[in-house]
């Protein structure tokens, strides 16, 4: 049983939740109110699709609400019960795709769309294809198959019964048989054009020639290997001699380069000696100048630190002096602003205002007390007829009324006085607030004046200290300048000493390199004396290498020509062998395909026999259920029974009638029955199909079942849906715009409304 469904941003539904009952559930509303969207949501929750989505007539993104506002995602949540277990499935759609989750009694089962669909199909023991064929009747399709031609009707009913797979398998088998026969014919024609005997004789001849050629090639390769060995030996001797010649030339070149460098370095040494530099005293002079330069650097840094310290001290005192002068100016400005105002005068005014306000408040309190007394006496006068409430003397009515008027007049005057005193008290409170503000202002200025009273002497002292610091800073700067001049002279002397040291070091480097180069020249002359190769022996080696090289080339050329010819013969042999192999393989394929054709013909026969047997058994089961249902659903006696009769190319839905002589006859519903009778007949067929195909799931979903049915037929359908049908089907869902469907007995009815003129969301109410 489907317990409830909740949809959010689903088509025209902003947020809708429906709780269903066992039996009939009716959704009523005008076109476009969002009725069919609920059935689509049920199918989508269970299987992730529904008819128009499955047929690509819409897309997932189109299911998200776009009117009156565009939403980012949509959600469908369904709760259903099977075998006492409660399942919940939620699917969410966004522009990035969809997600899903299914639970059992609140515990997680799956959370991937495909796995969720598989889990639900396993629980319900039904897949989407079967659900859409036998449980979910699309809009206006209750009697859809009656309006089809006979060939199409057979296809639709077979599809609902699941028999169309047999027809499809038979068609595929026939198509495969025909293709195989065409292939066999083409291959047999191809074999007939080949002379296989001649082809085999040519292959044998080519094979013999290849064996002879292989023997000749073996002898030539042995001769080539012997010549190649002698060639490699002469080549090795020639390369060794060439390396010796290259080595001798390299040594000679190196000796020449070294002699040139020695000559250059000796000239540089003579130039440096011509400068007459005193090498012995250079290091001592450099050390003395380094110490002198470092001492001057230290004294300059110390003087700079002192100059910086004095400058910072001067800047701080100047800043402090400016700040105090600014405070003095502020003090004088406040004195001018105060003028003759004093804190004592303002305090006197405050005391006077407080006293006046107290007097007014006392008047107010006394007046209010007097009013209370007069009002009490007035109440007593109103309640006492015989005696005065004050003096206890006897009162007549005239006297009592007179006293009462006097009290009321006095109360009125006192109230007027209270208004006057209240107004004066409020005015005095305002004056007192103004005096307090003025006092705080004067007090604050006097505090500032007192705070800045001793600043003049501080400023005078700071000016003296600034005058003292200025010449001290100038003296420090002058000392720094004098020491920097001395340091520059020392730096020039130090640079000259460093240049002389580098020149002496360069001279010593040249002398060292000259010594190393002369030793290397001596070594190279020794190496040169050990090389014995000459031009005559080199010529003999080159002549021997040329003779061996020519012989190897000739043998290599003969071997290549032989291999080329061998390759040509081998190609001819392989090509003819491939033709033979292809001929034999094709013969085997033809034999194999002929066996397949034979087996396929047997398979077709089995398919036809199985389909016929299943059709008879299913028709018998359907007709047994339909006969039982018809007796419950059809309220009259003119048609006693109903049946579905399979034909070679059609299915006939027939009803049985009986004339006055008790003669029975069967007539087709299509063309015989009225609109209401057609609807009940089609409803009987659909329920029977559902109970046969899906015996464990007694649901029925009907979208606009009153289509093309007159008023009498609708009335009859209402009686059937409210009466016997729920005895056979556990839960029925009806989508309709027909108001009379609200009259179905014991049905739970939902009213769906939507103002399409402003693209509003669907609103749902339950009757």
Q: Give 128's contacts (C-beta < 8 A, 6+ positions apart).
A: 43, 46, 47, 48, 49, 54, 117, 121
Report the 3 state secondary structure along 291-326: HHHHHHHHHHHHHHHHHHHHHHHHHHHHHHHHHHHH
Q: Which two tokens stand for residue 279?
A: 């090498």
pLDDT on residue 648: 78
H helix runs in 384-396, sequence order: none
Q: Binning pLDDT at 50, 70 and 90, where does residue 388 land?
A: low
pLDDT digit string (tens) for 651-704?
A: 888 998 876 667 788 888 887 877 778 878 888 888 888 888 887 778 888 888
pLDDT on residue 392: 53
H helix runs in 384-454, sequence order: 397-451
Q: In terms of C-beta density within 10 A (0-12 exposed, 13-18 middle, 19 or more buried), how is residue 80 classed?
A: buried
Q: Give 455's contacts (C-beta < 8 A, 6+ positions apart).
A: 324, 327, 328, 331
Q: Binning pLDDT at 50, 70 and 90, where does residue 93 land?
A: very high
* Domains and their CATH numbers in the chain: 2-153+682-766 (3.40.50.300), 336-452 (1.10.287.510)
Cα distance between residue 77 and residue 4, in whole Å = 8
pLDDT on residue 549: 87
pLDDT digit string (tens) for 30-78?
A: 988 999 999 999 999 999 999 889 888 899 999 999 888 899 999 999 9
Backbone φ, ψ for residue 650 (5° rounding) = -165, 165
pLDDT on residue 386: 56
pLDDT on residue 48: 95
Low-confidence winner among 343-352, 367-376, 383-392, 615-624 (lowest mean pLDDT): 383-392
Cα distance between residue 106 and residue 86, in whole Å = 8
Mean per-residue pLDDT, 192-219: 86
Average per-residue pLDDT for the chain: 86
Asked if the peptide bond before residue 466 counts as cis, ω within 30 degrees of 0, the response is no
Q: Binning pLDDT at 50, 70 and 90, where does residue 394 land?
A: low
pLDDT digit string (tens) for 458-477?
A: 888 888 888 888 888 888 88
pLDDT digit string (tens) for 257-272?
A: 888 898 988 888 888 8
pLDDT on residue 39: 92
pLDDT on residue 17: 96
pLDDT digit string (tens) for 77-91?
A: 999 999 999 999 999
Q: Does position 387 have pLDDT exceeding 60, yes or no?
A: no
Q: Does position 733 have pLDDT exceeding 90, yes or no?
A: yes
pLDDT digit string (tens) for 580-635?
A: 888 889 889 888 998 998 898 898 888 888 888 888 888 898 889 888 888 877 87
pLDDT on residue 120: 95
Q: Does position 281 have pLDDT exceeding 60, yes or no?
A: yes
Mean per-residue pLDDT, 394-411: 80
Q: Higher-confidence residue: 659 or 721? A: 721
């Amino acid at each position: 049983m489907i317990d409830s469904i909740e949809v959010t941003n689903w088509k025209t539904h902003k947020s809708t939740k429906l709780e269903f009952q066992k039996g009939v559930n009716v959704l009523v509303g005008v076109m476009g109110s969002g009725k069919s969207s609920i059935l689509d949501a049920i199918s989508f929750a269970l299987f992730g699709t529904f008819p128009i989505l499955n047929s690509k007539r819409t897309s997932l993104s189109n299911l998200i609400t776009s009117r009156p506002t565009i939403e980012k995602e949509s959600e469908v949540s369904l709760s259903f019960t099977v075998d006492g277990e409660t399942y919940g499935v939620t699917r969410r759609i966004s522009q990035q795709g969809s997600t899903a989750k299914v639970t059992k009694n609140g515990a997680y089962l799956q959370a991937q769309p495909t796995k969720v669909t598989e889990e639900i199909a396993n629980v319900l023991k039904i897949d989407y294809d079967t659900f859409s064929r036998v449980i979910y009747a699309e809009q206006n399709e209750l009697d859809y198959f009656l309006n089809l031609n006979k060939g199409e009707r057979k296809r639709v009913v077979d599809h609902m019964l699941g028999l169309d797979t047999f027809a499809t398998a038979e068609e595929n088998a026939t198509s495969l048989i025909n293709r195989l026969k065409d292939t066999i014919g083409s291959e047999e024609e191809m074999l007939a054009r080949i002379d296989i005997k001649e082809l085999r004789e040519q292959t044998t001849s080519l094979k013999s020639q290849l064996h002879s050629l292989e023997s000749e090639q073996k002898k030539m390769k042995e001769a080539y290997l012997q010549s190649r060995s002698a060639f490699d030996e002469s080549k090795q001797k020639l390369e060794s001699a060439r390396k010796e010649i290259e080595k001798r030339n390299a040594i000679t070149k190196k000796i020449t380069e070294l002699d040139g460098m020695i000559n250059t370095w000796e000239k540089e040494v003579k130039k440096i000696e011509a400068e007459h530099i005193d090498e012995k005293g250079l290091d001592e002079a450099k050390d003395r100048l380094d110490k002198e330069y470092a001492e001057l650097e230290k004294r300059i840094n110390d003087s700079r630190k002192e100059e910086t310290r004095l400058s910072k001290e001067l800047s701080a005192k100047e800043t402090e002096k400016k700040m105090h002068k600014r405070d003095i100016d502020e003090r004088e400005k406040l004195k001018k602003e105060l003028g003759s105002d004093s804190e004592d005068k303002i305090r006197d005014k405050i005391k006077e205002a407080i006293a006046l306000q107290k007097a007014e408040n006392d008047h107010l309190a006394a007046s209010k007390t007097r009013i209370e007394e007069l009002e009490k006496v007035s109440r007593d006068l109103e309640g006492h007829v015989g005696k005065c409430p004050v003096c206890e003397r006897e009162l007549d009515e005239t006297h009592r009324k007179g006293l009462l008027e006097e009290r009321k007049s006095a109360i009125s005057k006192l109230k007027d006085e209270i208004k006057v005193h209240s107004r004066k008290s409020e005015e005095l409170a305002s004056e007192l607030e103004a005096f307090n503000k003025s006092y705080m202002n004067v007090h604050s200025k006097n505090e500032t004046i007192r705070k800045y009273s001793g600043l003049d002497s501080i400023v005078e002292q700071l000016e003296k200290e600034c005058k003292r610091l200025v010449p001290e800073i100038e003296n420090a700067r002058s000392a720094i300048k004098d020491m920097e001049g001395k340091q520059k002279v020392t730096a020039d002397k130090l640079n000259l000493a460093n240049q002389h040291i580098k020149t002496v070091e360069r001279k010593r480097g040249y002398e060292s390199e000259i010594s190393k180069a002369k030793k290397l020249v001596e070594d190279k002359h020794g190496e040169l004396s050990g090389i014995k190769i000459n031009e005559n022996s080199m010529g003999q080696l080159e002549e021997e290498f040329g003779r061996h090289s020519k012989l190897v080339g000739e043998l290599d050329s003969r071997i290549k020509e032989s291999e080329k010819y061998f390759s040509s013969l081998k190609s001819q042999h392989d090509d003819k062998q491939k033709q033979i192999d292809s001929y034999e393989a094709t013969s085997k394929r033809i034999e194999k395909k002929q066996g397949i054709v034979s087996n396929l013909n047997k398979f077709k026969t089995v398919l036809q026999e199985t389909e016929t047997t299943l059709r008879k058994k299913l028709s018998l089961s359907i007709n047994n259920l339909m006969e039982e249902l018809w007796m419950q659903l059809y309220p009259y006696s003119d048609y006693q029974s109903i049946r579905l009769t399979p034909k070679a190319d059609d299915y006939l839905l027939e009803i049985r009638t009986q004339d006055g002589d008790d003669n029975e006859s069967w007539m087709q519903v299509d063309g015989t029955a009225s609109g209401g009778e057609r609807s009940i007949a089609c409803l009987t067929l659909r329920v029977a199909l559902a109970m046969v195909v899906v015996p464990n799931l007694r649901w029925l979903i009907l979208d606009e079942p009153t289509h093309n049915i007159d008023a009498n037929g609708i009335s009859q359908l209402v009686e059937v849906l409210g009466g016997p049908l729920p005895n056979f089907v556990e839960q029925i869902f009806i989508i309709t715009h027909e108001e009379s469907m609200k009259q179905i007995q014991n049905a739970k009815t939902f009213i769906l409304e939507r103002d399409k003129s402003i693209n509003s969301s669907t609103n749902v109410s339950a009757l």
